[in-house]
Structure 1
Amino acid sequence: MPGRTIERVSTARAQVGPRSPQARPAPRLRALDGLRLVAALMVAAYHYGGRGGEITTAWGVSAASLFPSAHTWFAYGCLGVQIFFVISGFVICMSGWGRSLASFFASRAARLLPAYWASVVLVTLVFALPTVAYEAVSPSDALVNLTLLQQPLGVDRVLGVCWTLWAEIRFYALFAVCVVLPGANRRRIVLFCAAWTLAAALGKASGEPLLDVVLMPAYAPFFIGGIGLYLVHRNRRDATAWGIVGVSWLLGQHSAVADLWHPAGPHAFSYRSSLVIIAVVTAGFAAVAAIALGALARFDHRWLTVAGALTYPFYLVHEHLGWVVVNMLHQRLGVPARATAVLTVVLMLALAWLLHRYVERWLTPRLRRSLTGGAGRPA
């Protein structure tokens, strides 16, 4: 999950270190904000119409029977996560360049935690209502969820999507220790990408669970590919950066196919083509590359900034609370399936706006200032 917002960037970044106070802030990469929302909507389509499990309970019948044609395509929506990871690699490299370790930590914590805490509390309370048909986690497990460490501790998750945040946190830790702590520069970042790529492959070959947890061979190519694309953004003629992107795409598409492809069968809730998986992964890399090269600079609409701001809270709440809304609209009120799906997305976006407006905008700057002692530039 997913890094939260798109940082401000400058087209001329020759020096390493904080930008001068007189430097004019560069415009946002608003197209990257829009791409993040597209990736979130892909994941929502998967959760609402491309899988089985709890969402079948919400609809009352199989989602495949409600969306006989779209269901096949919705099944590819889970690849929005891989696109998120590419974007995260780009944004975290941009965010960490010129930052101290304390500032980097404060930036990430202030971006992730406010909406996450609010979402955990909200979902826990809603699932505890007697009219809701889903089982809430225990009070003890809900409290552990506030730490973001429920995944490694084997604690029941309040939010189904929080496994992606655990991947993000491990990426942040690796980048912080290997790049931010010694000081970000091109040489160190290239070495980090090369070392992580090789180490992830060796970790996969070893079969050691600890190495799999730390090095994340299934997701490393996407984060590394995003880092390479940020280097391309800084210098489009950087052949080494393009090499990092190319190798990451090759490894990433294979990882996605290995994780998500399965043959059609009576026990499979979806059938995915390996060629379509490769195409979606390629499209994700290509979209971030187009933004890095400035090809989408004309998409500079202010509403894209709003879209980017809503993406993270929408991603957090859309799955579990979406089940509750789907059940209420479709099974209890008899709203047709397609209208239910659209209304659920709209309601989750509205809830995301409320979380952004009344939680993030209030708590994020306060948390950042408390963690940096009032110093540090915004993320």
Structure 2
Amino acid sequence: MLDAISPTSSVAPAAPPPAKRPRLAVLDGLRLVAAVSVVFCHYTASNDAWDQNAKQLFPFLHQFSQYGWLGVEVFFLISGFVICMSAWNKSLGDFVVSRVARLYPAYWIAIVLAVTVISIWPSVRYVRSWTDVAVNLTMLQEGLGVRNVDGVYWTLFIELKFYLLFAIVVGFGVTYRRCVLFCGLWTVASLAATVAGGDLLVMWAEPLYSPYFIAGIALYLIYRFGPTAVPFGILGLSFILAELTVTRRVARLTFDTTNEHHPIATWPAQAVVAVAFCFMTLLALGAFNRIQWRWLTTAGALTYPLYLLHQDIGLTVLHALRDDVPPYVLVFGTLLAMLLLAWLVHRLGERPLARLVERVMRNGMADLRRHSADPPPRRDRVSVPPVALPQPEPVGAGSSLRP
């Protein structure tokens, strides 16, 4: 079905590949903002590190940080954009190599550091079993019913499922129409999962988060091909669905103080989602192309390790020093320490390990292609060319048998 939709169809915009564009540095900055918002949510809206009411400790900051979890939704929106962009004109093997080399090196380092910290100081979390740690190294623990070593890892399994689904498009070749069809099919599957339920369909369709990934793909189509009706239609529908699903996310949240349920207002969460969609739309239309501040690239590089490292390690630090350091000083000091740790992990661990993983993966893909090729013809038999035998002379003119 995917292959039947040709990129030369009259329905699609006949746009050539775009000229080389500047790096989307603002996108890196937005990623860091999303990560920092998640950090503040865990540090000042949760009581895990304080053993008391965080709202009373941070009466002003808590009003905003209690919505910091929306950084995850922003991550998913950016992810749809970036994955579609990075997969264009790539083979399936290249796509797999790039995703593994991008996701796993920092993740493995973060697991080692988190397990070390919570094993020595099991104040806010502890290691249940080393089998759980080993399973976590695969990033598949959510699908296997195994507890995450660090609480933030739950989002990575959702990302992995998105990559697996989009790999179908990559396998056929990423085109405008295949992206549109993918967005349409995923939207239908998400609606069916919402209405009909079913664990398997809900697990793969991810109705709470699919609108963000789908909107990100549509935004990249706008960025690449221009503001046409089809991607804007997908974007608009995804925005409406995101506004609906975020209300369900709010309904699931509880920020406990004394084992009581403390609901939060829905409209600020919807407002944040609207601002994120508007910002990404402006970015897709090229509004921020001139912003090329170099520090934004560094900020983008720190985002992933900061997200992976901040929760268990940071909460352990907060818990250990909460009685000796003023709360605001401790929170901002811990954030700076986590940024420094993220930079060290990126420069000293993630980058060299990513190069190694990429080299190993590319060699593995080369072996896979080589051993999957058609076998050469067998040479165990010597082929002898046929010998031409003399043909009998036909009876007729010139024959010695003529009467």
Say whether 1:40 aligns with 2:38.
no
Question: Do residues 138 (structure 1) and 110 (structure 2) align?
Answer: no
Whole-angstrom CA distance in 1 between matches of 2:153 and 2:196 = 27
**Paired residue secondary structure (1:147):** coil
Which amino acid in 2 is paired with 1:100? S
Aligned to 2:315: 323
Matching residue of 2:299:
307
- Code of the residue aligned with 1:302 in structure 2: it is R
Contact 1:89 1:222 in 2 (8 A): yes
The equivalent residue for 2:231 is 241
Indicate the SS of the match to 1:51: coil
Gaps of 5+ in 1: 1-11
Q: Equivalent residue for 1:155?
A: 146
In structure 1, the partner of 2:76 is 85
1:14-66 CA-to-partner distances (Å, cap 9, x unmatched) read 25xxx9xxxx96431100000000000111111111134xx2xx223221110
Deviation at 1:139, TM superposition (A): 0.8
Q: What is the Cα deviation at residue 74 of structure 1?
A: 0.9
Q: SS state of the match for residue 106, structure 1?
A: helix
- Partners of 1:124 and 1:137 within 8 A in 2: no
Task: Summarize deviations over 1:193-229 as a string: whole Å, max 9, x none.
Answer: 0111011101221110110001111110000000010
- Given the alignment of the two structures, is residue 367 of structure 1 paired with residue 357 of structure 2, yes or no? yes
**Structure 1: how far apart are the matches of 2:272 and 2:99?**
28
For residues 347 and 367 of structure 1, the distance between their equivalents in structure 2, rounded to whole angstroms, comes to: 28
> Does residue 119 of structure 2 align to residue 117 of structure 1?
no
Q: Which amino acid aligns with 1:72?
A: Q
Report the CA distance between 1:268 and its aligned residue: 5.0
Equivalent position of 1:3 in the other structure: none
Distance 1:26 1:296, change over 3 A: closer
**Cα distance in structure 2, aligned partners of 1:13 and 1:117:** 41
Aligned-partner residue type, residue 223 of structure 2: H
Q: C-alpha separation between the residues in 1 aligned to 2:248 and 2:297? A: 35
Q: Distance in 1 between matches of 2:191 and 2:217?
A: 18
Q: Is the 8 A contact 2:22 2:289 kept in 1?
A: no
Which residue is equivalent to 1:14?
Answer: 16
Separation of aligned partners in 1, 2:191 and 2:307? 30
SS at match of 2:90: coil
Q: How big is the shift at 1:299?
A: 2.4
Quote the Cα distance in structure 1 between the aligned partners of 2:261 and 2:314.
Answer: 20
Q: How many residues align?
A: 351
User: Is the counterpart of residue 128 in structure 1 residue 94 in structure 2?
Assistant: no
CA distance in 2, matches of 1:35, 1:28: 14
Q: Aligned residue for 1:174?
A: 165
Aligned-partner Cα distance in 1 for 2:261–2:305: 28
Q: Secondary structure at the match of 1:161?
A: helix
Contact 2:93–2:365 at 8 Å: present in 1 too? no
What is aligned with 1:51?
46
How far has the Cα of 1:72 moved from its partner?
2.4
TM-score (norm: length of structure 1):
0.88
Ranges in structure 2 where 5+ consecutive residues have no aligned partner: 1-13, 367-403
Q: Is the 8 A contact 1:72 1:271 kept in 2?
A: no
Change (3 A) 1:165 1:159: same
The Cα shift of 1:374 comes to 9.2
CA radius of gyration, larger in: 2
Once the two structures are TM-superposed, the CA of residue 83 in structure 1 deviates from its matched residue by 0.5
Instruction: Give the deviation of 1:373 after TM superposition.
Output: 2.5
C-alpha spacing 1:13/1:43, structure 2 compared with 1 (3 Å): farther
* Structure 2 residue aligned with 1:218: 208
The 2-side partners of 1:87 and 1:13 are apart by 23
User: Hey, what's the Cα distance between the residues in 2 that align with 1:31 and 1:209?
Assistant: 38
Q: Supply the AA of the counterpart residue of 1:345.
A: L
